[in-house]
Amino acid sequence: MAIQKVLVGDRVWGIESTQKLGDGKTLFSLLATDGSERLKILSPPERYELLPETAPQFARTAVAPWSQWLQAHTAIKLANVGDGQFAALHAGRILPEPYQFASVEKLLRSPRNCLLIADDVGLGKTIEAGICMLELIARGRAKRILLIVPPGLIGQWQEEMLEKFGLAFTAIENAASLEQVQTRLSEGIKPWSFLNRVITSVEYLKKREVLHSALESRWDVIVVDEAHYLAESGTPKNPYRTARFRLGERLRDACHALILLTATPHNGYTHSF
């Protein structure tokens, strides 16, 4: 039979015997847990605390099936898209404007998750893109993300995504940075396929050998800043396709969700759409 234990001061003792005295007093005969010494106390005035006979243990069956709770909790957290219950409100370090959530709501309602964000300069297209990415991540639909931005904005995008959304992106902007990333990986591992979040530039990605490697493994989400550069060039009478246009076509077929950002007014030519 297990010995009842009691906490006196800061030590644990085993109770050998108790004796009830008058006036509500109890005399305890105690034995140290290692058997090294004995102690007698009178309570009151001494204070003691009875300890459980066995150490408490967590039992999942004592609460509820874990998988059912997790599914219900996730469903509640991600439900009510139209009511503003977005992941960015829980996990993003932002002070968003209401209009910035119009993009993600439209994205989630579209059958293929493709979106063109054409807000004016200074209205926070980067924030809107981050909100979209964070929401797709929360819904399990965005593990692999590729950011394609102008070369001079790679550092700014990295900093903003990390600071505001906690999303770290590895920069592969030229052959030197690709080699640096490769040296950190085991031999034979392809950076473009192994890394889940990469940021690069249109100028580097449009190179044929780079494009083949970068799009060899399908991406969940591709975000393109300054997306107007991917439009077909020329006039309606003399249109022509550039390397950037061909890149845009490849990107469209290489992902599940494509988000394009631009603040440059369209030239109005039908072929450029």
**What would the DSSP string read from start to end of 82-118?**
GGT--HHHHH------GGGGHHHHHHHHSSS-EEEE-
> What's the average model confidence in pLDDT over 174-194?
90
Of 22, 20, 3, the closest CA to residue 12 belongs to 3
40 pLDDT more than 60: yes
pTM: 0.64
Of 249, 254, 204, 257, the closest CA to residue 230 belongs to 249
Two structure tokens written together for 204: 């580097």
47 pLDDT more than 50: yes
User: What are the tens digits of pLDDT across the range 195-240?
Assistant: 999 999 988 998 888 999 999 999 999 999 988 777 666 666 776 5
- Number of folded domains that form the chain: 2
Band (pLDDT 50/70/90 cuts) for residue 16 is confident
Q: What is the pLDDT at residue 77?
A: 54
Query: Quick check: 134 and 87 in contact, CB under 8 A?
Result: yes
SS3 call for 54 = coil
Same domain, 163 and 248: yes
Q: Is residue 163 one of the residues assigned to a domain?
A: yes
Band (pLDDT 50/70/90 cuts) for residue 174 is very high
The parent domain of residue 45 ranges over 5-50
Same domain, 41 and 105: no
Two structure tokens written together for 229: 């550069």
> What's the average model confidence in pLDDT over 72-82?
53
Same domain, 43 and 70: no
Q: What is the pLDDT at residue 41?
A: 84
Band (pLDDT 50/70/90 cuts) for residue 192 is very high
* CA gap 67, 249 in Å, rounded: 41
Rg, C-alpha atoms of the chain: 31
What's the DSSP call for residue 186? P
Same domain, 32 and 87: no
Query: Could you give the C-alpha distances from 51 to 4, 8, 35, 48, in angstroms and in order?
Result: 7, 10, 18, 10
Same domain, 30 and 92: no
Q: Is residue 56 one of the residues assigned to a domain?
A: no
Same domain, 141 and 260: yes
User: What are the tens digits of pLDDT across the range 94-143?
Assistant: 666 777 777 888 888 777 778 888 777 767 788 889 988 988 888 888 89
Same domain, 38 and 105: no
Place of tokens 């140290």: 32
Band (pLDDT 50/70/90 cuts) for residue 66 is low
